[in-house]
Structures are given as structure tokens and as C-alpha cells.
Amino acid sequence: MSFKLRCLAVSIALLVTPAMGAENSPMPDPALVAKGLQLFNDTSVSGGGSVSCATCHFSTGHTNNKTYVGLEVVADGDANGRSTPTLWGAGERSVYGWAGTAPTLEESIRGIIVNRMKGAEPSKENLAALAAYVRSLPYPKNWQLNDDGTPSPIATEAVKRGFDLFIGDGGCGTCHVLPSLDKSSRDDIGTGGKFKVPSLRAVASTAPYFHDGRTASLRDAVKLMWGVYAKKMDTGLVPTDAQIDDLVAYLSAL
């Protein structure tokens, strides 16, 4: 293990905490997490030894903000593309993958290694270590929000108004359910098929948006989804610029 990875492993051993909403989850084994970190950065898990998990997610598990077809970077909005999600808080997902076909984190990791990275079948031990590392990655906390995603008493008025819109007229909370801000089912929002409802935790730093990265800004993503909900529920509501500002303020705090 390189010096840099050893330092990261020490930090994990000292700072590992359950993801938000997982206060009753068992603490991960620091040694298993450290092994998972090493494997996460190991290109030998892929076919040909050309890429590692960190190629798309960095050593921190966050997204590299790129859209892929297989292992090839493509233009955002490519109909066949899949936007790289963050792994922060991934231990709290309902199901995994844009297709929503992996019911557990372990199955999702195994599928990425074997099907996308064209690597060998991972051992049970290595899979457990990788899953332990990913589960150790919490969402960053924000002083304006409680752990369940609701505004704290000291949140700005814009964040509070945005939350009210999120669970009210905007309809966002219908699919992005607190506290994980995702849902296990797949929905068709007119972007080319049914896809898993992604978590909105850390959403402000996960552009581009939607499964194919078609929307560059969070503001445009909010506008698109408001229109989808308004059409589906036949509300006839058109958001003002101020309402979009408030929704973006709330989402940016997640």
C-alpha cells in the first residue's frame, strides 16, 4: 500500500462513522475498511489491469462527474451513457445501479467489476472489504439540516422555504423520500425509459444530472423535474424564479 493510501487508511480508522440515517448500524471494522480502500484503488481488479474503482469515484468514493458507456467517457447527454453517481452514503441506498437491478451493495460492486470492468469474479473476502469501505463513506453534513434531511431551526429562510416546496408543490419528496432521498422503484420521467430514483444527498456536487448526464446545472434539473411532476399530477403549477432559487438552496444543503 502506498504512503498516501496508508494515510487514508489511518484516517478511516480514526474517523469512520455510520452514514446519515444509520445511527443503529454496526461500526465497520477499520482493518476491513482499509483493505477495501486498497482494493478500491487496485487496477488488478479489472480486466487488463487498466482501471480501478477509483478511476470513476476517486479514493474518496465521490463521483468524477463524467458520463460513461462501459469504460469509455462519452459526451454528457449520450443516449447510451450512464452518469457516475457518488458513493457517499451508498450504504443507505434502497437498491443500486441506474437500472435498479442490484438489491444489495455487494451485488452492485460484483456486477460493476465483472460486467463493466471485465474483471475476474471477486472473492467473497474482497467483496466484503470493498463493501465495508463503501459503507464507511458518509454524506457530508450541513449545519442547516438535521440528519434526516429536514431543516434545522437555524437554517436560512431560503432553505426552509425550499424544503416546504420539496415536500409540497414541487412534489420532489414523492420519489426522493427522506432520509435517504431516494426510492427503490424505477420511474419513467420521459428521459428514455425507466430508471432508479437516485439519492439527492450531496446532489449539488454530482453534476451532470439524470442517468445520461443530460442536464449540466442543478437549477435546470429542478426545472425539468418540476415540469414532470406538474404534468403527471396535472397541477398546472409553474414555478417562479424565486421558488426555483429556494429549491436549489435546499438541495444544495443536502
Question: Residue 129 is part of a domain; what is its CATH number?
Answer: 1.10.760.10
Domain residues for the domain of 161 are 157-253
Q: Do 169 and 37 form a contact (C-beta atoms < 8 A)?
A: no
Residue 150 lies in a domain: no
Number of domains in the chain: 2
Based on the fold, state whether residues 108 and 162 are members of the same structural domain.
no
Nearest to 45 by CA among 54, 33, 57: 54
Based on the fold, state whether residues 164 and 131 are members of the same structural domain.
no
Give DSSP secondary structure letters for 183-236. Answer: -SSEEE-SSSSEEE----TTGGGS-SBTTTT-B-SHHHHHHHHHHHHHHHHT--
Q: Maximum distance among all alpha carbons in the chain?
A: 58
CA distance 29 to 136: 9
Residue 92: the pLDDT is 87
Residue 146 lies in a domain: no
Residue 26: the pLDDT is 66
Based on the fold, state whether residues 125 and 228 are members of the same structural domain.
no
Nearest to 69 by CA among 59, 79, 55: 79
Please list the pLDDT of the chain residue by residue as tens digits (254 residues).
Answer: 443 444 444 344 333 434 444 444 567 799 999 999 999 999 999 999 999 999 999 989 999 999 999 999 999 999 999 999 999 999 988 899 999 999 999 999 999 999 999 999 999 999 999 999 999 999 999 999 999 999 999 999 999 999 999 999 999 999 999 999 999 889 999 999 999 999 999 999 999 999 999 999 999 999 999 999 999 999 999 999 999 999 999 999 99
Residue 148 lies in a domain: no
CA distance 51 to 43: 5
Element (H, E) at 73: strand 72-74
CA distance 194 to 188: 4
Based on the fold, state whether residues 81 and 112 are members of the same structural domain.
yes
CA distance 80 to 60: 27
Whether the model pTM is above 0.85 = yes
Residue 125 lies in a domain: yes
Based on the fold, state whether residues 169 and 240 are members of the same structural domain.
yes
Cβ neighbourhood burial of 110 (10 Å; 0-12, 13-18, 19+):
buried
Question: Cα angle at 78 between 73 and 84, to 5 degrees?
Answer: 50
Residue 28: the pLDDT is 74
